[in-house]
Amino acid sequence: MAYRFKLQKVKCITTEDSTGADETRIRVYCDGALVDTLRKDMNDGTEYPVNKEYAYQANVQIEVYDLDGDHWYDRDDHIGTNTYAAVATALTTSEISGDGAHYQVLYSVEGPPPPSQRQQIDAVVHESWGSATSPWVNLRTAQAEANVKQQVLDRIDSPGLVDQDNRSLCGPCSIIHELAKRQPLRYVTAMRTLYKEGRLICGTYSAEAGSQLVNGIIPTGIPVADWMLAAVMRDNENLIADVDPDEGGAAEGISGLTYIGAMCTWARQMLGLAHVSSETTYLWGEEDAITAGQDAINRGGTAFMLVSAGLWRHDPGWYPDHWSVLRGNLVITRGDPCTWDSDTYDFDYFNPNHNPKPSEGHFRGSEGEFEDGFYGCVWGY
């Protein structure tokens, strides 16, 4: 990538000619090629404001001559040549002296712009992730590595593809949705380390993939990239039961449950949210909790809802069993103040359960329906 040499001015301190002004010629070479020739008569104390920029890769040379006609009996006088490397440099002065003359060059060097986030993501993806030595024994092929990489890129472009399938991994998958959306470079870097080394390092969160995961089967249905990350996240938070790739759906039982504390930990450590709060609404407080979630989104943050999975089918159950992402646009329309549960709730959500498919959808329902299916919220910004 190109550096930019900014030639501010050239100043003559002492001329080469003893009888008058130097007929000064300044040549600029970038990576060995002549790119500019400057001319000015300069006396002691003369300043020449150049104010030009030159792009280069390796080096710039500034060559100063006093022109005397370049006759055989009086050649042009080479005062000096300075070479400037490809190093970012604040505004500074360099000296060029020779043949009795003394000049100063005022310049700076601007480094190449940092790579864009997408360029950094692409660089990580184009690295080898070491498929032959991956600790995931059933993913030790170049094709498996390519599949994981492609799924990661797909989720960066479309976070709504994150899919828990029939696994009890809605909490981790809700976090992954926001990770891919909010911190794509952190996400792809975490996935590289997880695939390559069997370790999850994401922000300040770290975990080791359990032996039952790296040595076990890769479940069908759930995309492999979602399985790897979500299973390690969930397994690391479990105190008793391990997440087992041979189990699925209700069979996962306690190993798949995600509590509010784990969601708060992941929000802080993986998503990097500084201010994380939560509220349960088993008895009351539904409006306050979801409004706090919307406020966090308005501040550039995010929110996660603990619900009955049936809420998205407008058939809420009597207990919380599912995590989803509050995507915002909350509107509470007031109804008849004399009628119980007459308000209407509207908001956007992401549901990681892809049965039959995942959904970045919109909920519109009555106050009663919403309160029956909404059990808490975790939010942060």
CB atoms within 10 A of CB 290: 24
Q: Which of 170-179, 317-326, 348-357 has the highest mean pLDDT?
A: 170-179
| DSSP H or E segment with residue 276 | strand 276-280
**CA nearest to 228, candidates 238, 237, 240, 217:** 217
Rounded Cα gap, residues 230 and 218, in angstroms? 13
Give the rounded percent of residues in the chain with a pLDDT score beyond 90. 81
> Contact at 8 Å (CB) between 152 and 188?
yes
Q: Residue 10 region, left (φ>0) first, then alpha (ψ -120 to 50), else beta?
A: beta
Report the predicted TM-score, pTM, of the whole model to 2 decimal places: 0.75
* Average pLDDT score over residue span 8-36: 94
Q: Where are the domains of the chain?
A: 3-110, 117-267, 275-380
- Residue 256 — φ and ψ, nearest 5°? -100, -5
**So what's the pLDDT on residue 255?**
44
CB atoms within 10 A of CB 1: 10
* Average pLDDT score over residue span 233-258: 62
Rounded Cα gap, residues 162 and 155, in angstroms? 7
CB burial of 150-174 (b: ≥16 within 10 Å; e: otherwise) equals ebbbebbeebbbbbbbbbbbbbbbb
CB atoms within 10 A of CB 73: 6
Rounded Cα gap, residues 267 and 164, in angstroms? 18
Confidence of residue 242 (pLDDT cuts 50, 70, 90): low
Confidence of residue 245 (pLDDT cuts 50, 70, 90): low
* Average pLDDT score over residue span 163-176: 93
* Average pLDDT score over residue span 353-377: 87
Strand order in the sheet with 89-98: 47-56, 3-14, 101-110, 89-98
Higher pLDDT, 149 or 309: 149
The mean-pLDDT minimum among 237-246, 265-274, 291-300 falls in: 237-246
Angle at the Cα of 18 (from 16 to 19), degrees rounded to 5? 125
Fold of 3-110: Immunoglobulin-like (2.60.40)
Sequence-ordered list of residues with C-beta below 8 angstroms from that of 95, at least 6 positions apart, any chain: 102, 103, 104, 105
**So what's the pLDDT on residue 339?**
84
Decide if pLDDT at 251 tops 70. Answer: no
Rounded Cα gap, residues 177 and 144, in angstroms? 22
**So what's the pLDDT on residue 254?**
42
What value does the mean pLDDT of the chain take?
A: 92
Which tokens sit at 3?
Answer: 């550096």
Decide if pLDDT at 337 tops 90. Answer: no
**So what's the pLDDT on residue 244?**
61
| DSSP H or E segment with residue 30 | strand 22-30
Higher pLDDT, 348 or 71: 348
Give 186-227 pLDDT, tens digit per residue.
999 999 999 999 999 999 999 999 999 999 999 998 999 999
User: CA distances (Å), 319 to each of 29, 66, 309, 345, 375, in order?
Assistant: 74, 89, 9, 20, 8
Give 37-87 pLDDT, tens digit per residue.
999 999 999 999 999 999 999 999 999 999 987 666 667 899 999 999 999
**So what's the pLDDT on residue 253?**
45
The one-letter amino acid at 162 = V
Decide if pLDDT at 163 tops 60. Answer: yes
User: CA distances (Å), 208 to each of 9, 44, 90, 184, 229, in order?
Assistant: 58, 70, 44, 21, 11
Q: Tell me 259's DSSP state.
A: -
Give 83-135 pLDDT, tens digit per residue.
999 999 999 999 999 989 999 999 999 998 788 999 999 999 999 999 999 99
Which tokens sit at 67?
Answer: 């022109």
